[in-house]
Amino acid sequence: MLKDKNIILGVTGGIAAYKCVDLVSRLRKQGANVHVILTKGAQNFVTETAMREISGNPVVTSMWQEIQQYDVEHIALARLADVVLVAPATANVIAKCACGMADDMLTTTLLATKAPVFFAPAMNTNMYENSITQQNLHTLQERGCHIIDPAAGHLACGTSGVGRMPEPQELVEILVDFFATGKELAEPDEADSRQHLAEELDFSGLNILVTAAGTREPIDPVRYIGNRSSGKMGYAIAEAARDLGANVTLISGPSALTPLAGVNFFKVESARDMRRLVLENFPESQIVIKAAAVADYRVKNVADHKIKKNDEELTLVLEKNPDILKELGQKKQKGQVLVGFAAETQNLIQYAQSKLEKKNLDMIVANDVSKPQAGFNVDTNLIKLLKRDGSIEELPLMSKKDLAYIILNHVMKIYRQHN
């Protein structure tokens, strides 16, 4: 997928810069032409020589150096790029780009390019979570840049938390996926729907309850049963609803995503924790959208201490968890709108239809999780919207962020019919 693609890799001054030697090597193995720009800070962590040898191309370290291979003008790389990846992206470069500064070769290239841009933020957790950095990332995202979530783990500053640059292989996979799915993504006019719908939709004064991510059911103090839900779908809906003026309550299972600013945010672990908070918030909510992947079963006898391994088989007895959505369907009052998701790998319409009826929903988002780039832990999704009047709206593979607006558009239509 990366064969003959011109990838501009902007390396900035963070300790994770050392991983870029491996990153460039992996990109080249995929057939990409990699052109590296090292900021001044990055040169403290990785050398121009190493990057030149590994990329096979001249490395740009300054606005003013002579580079024989490119056109002389300083935006040549911006034009050449099929994609620009900034990895690691420091808080500093993110801030500069968010306000349109162009004071070195990397920021100049970023301002001048029309190619897709990916940022892989890597920094100390407090710097990453600082509302200024979050606002800057939000600004870049709003302008169409792709932000790659940092991983959690041990950081160079001696602390643990979110802020690690993802491993080079993961970054390569993100670019491969991008080029693989880019053509299948909705046409620009469909993708533009976010902007278009945002202008028409107004959720001011409405309380929307959204659930996201998967629950974890403990086995013992250190182990659990979980699933692959990242929270991306639910967070996208909560974020869109917030941006459209709603008062949003987001109840999330464990997720690596950053809690959204400007929403009432609750983090839960198990299905029963989620049920308690959902039921507490339900009476005040005009609209509920349940994107969470709730565990259907939990371990019957959770061990008080870590289960010790021996040579015997281990049997866990599971008991059923409460079906939160079904309970909401029973409690639903006139005027309230209840939307569920159905994650299916077969008989999509049939199973989703049955959940729509059994759980007394107004709409169900039938999610075909058997298809590539759809469902769990990816940025895109493939869904069909089923309503009580029997209508089915089929949508193409689209980003979860765009789908969030389309789902909310349908929700608003139902809400208006009921109120």
Residues 301-330 that bind ligand PMT (CB under 6 A): 321, 323-325
Q: Which is nearer to ligand PMT, 17 or 383 (CB)?
A: 383
Q: Secondary structure of the chain in the HEC alphabet?
A: CCCCCEEEEEECCCHHHHHHHHHHHHHHHCCCEEEEEECCCHHHCCCHHHHHHHHCCCCECCCCCCCCCCCCCCCHHHHHCCEEEEEEECHHHHHHHHCCCCCCHHHHHHHHCCCCEEEEECCCHHHHHCHHHHHHHHHHHHCCCEECCCEEEECCCCCEEEEECCCHHHHHHHHHHHHHHHCCCCCHHHHCHHHHHHHHCCCCCCEEEEEECECCEECCCCCEECCCCCCHHHHHHHHHHHHCCCEEEEEECCCCCCCCCCCEEEECCCHHHHHHHHHHHHHHCCEEEECCECCCEEECCCCCCCCCCCCCCCCCCEEECCCHHHHHHHHCCCCCEEEEEEEECCCHHHHHHHHHHHCCCCEEEEEECCCCCCCCCCCEECEEEEECCCCEEECCCEEHHHHHHHHHHHHHHHHHHHC
Window 345-374: residues binding ligand PMT (CB under 6 A): 355, 367, 369
Binding mask 62-81 for ligand PMT (x = CB under 6 A): --------------------
- Supply the minimum distance, in Å, between the C-beta of residue 215 and ligand PMT: 8
Residue with smaller CB distance to ligand PMT, 133 or 229: 229
398 near ligand PMT (CB under 6 A): no
**Is residue 253 a contact residue for ligand PMT (CB under 6 A)?**
no
| Nearest distance in Å: CB 169, ligand PMT | 20
**Residue 145 annotated in active site:** no
Residue 26 engages ligand PMT in binding (rule: CB under 6 A):
no
- Asked if 140 interacts with ligand PMT (CB under 6 A), we say no
- Shortest Å, Cβ 230 to ligand PMT: 3
| Cβ proximity to ligand PMT, 355 vs 410, nearer residue | 355
| Residue 237 touching ligand PMT (CB under 6 A) | no
- Looking at the Cβ atoms of 186 and 343, the one nearer to ligand PMT is 343
Site for ligand PMT in 159-178 (CB under 6 A): none
Write the interaction track for ligand PMT spanning residues 207-236; mark x where CB under 6 A is met and - where it is not: ------x---------------xxxxxx--
411 binds ligand PMT (CB under 6 A): no
Q: Which residues are catalytic?
A: 157
Which stretches of the chain bind ligand PMT, using CB under 6 A?
A: 213, 229-234, 271, 290-294, 296, 321, 323-325, 340-343, 355, 367, 369, 375-377
